[in-house]
Amino acid sequence: MVRKFEEERAEDLGKAAKTLYAKGKSIRAISEQIGASRSYVHRILMRARTEHLATMVSQRRIAQGNDPLPPGNVISMGAISLHNRRSFH
């Protein structure tokens, strides 16, 4: 895989993209503003979302304790959803 940006620049672009997206900017507007392709911005944002979901599921699981989870539990469904996303990307 060819690296489009050096690691430090990529981190800066990632932070900028996440900040702008949180402010309600579209992927197209973000890509124009930071000077990266729409697909690059989309990948950054999807990676951040997946990391956030993994953290959220883990925090809920810790709060739940070590007891087995009943079928249909929010944590179980979140983990399944997260697993399915990772399988396709």
Domains in the chain: boundaries? 7-88
Residue with tokens 């079928």: 71
Cα of 26 vs its chain's centroid, Å: 16
Asked if residue 89 has pLDDT above 70, the reply is no
Q: What is the pLDDT, as a whole number, of residue 6?
A: 79
In angstroms, the CA 44 to CA 23 distance is 16
pTM of the model: 0.61
pLDDT value at 24 more than 80: yes
Tell me how far CA of residue 68 lies from CA of 1, 56, 64, 71, 73, in angstroms. 41, 18, 9, 9, 10
CA distance 34 to 17: 7
pLDDT at 2 over 70: no
Distance of CA 33 to the CA centre of its chain: 20
Mean pLDDT throughout 20-26? 94
Query: Residue 42: its pLDDT value, please?
Result: 94
Q: For residue range 26-73, list pLDDT tens digits in order.
A: 999 999 999 999 999 999 999 998 888 778 777 777 777 767 777 767
Instruction: Give the tokens for residue 15.
Output: 């932070």
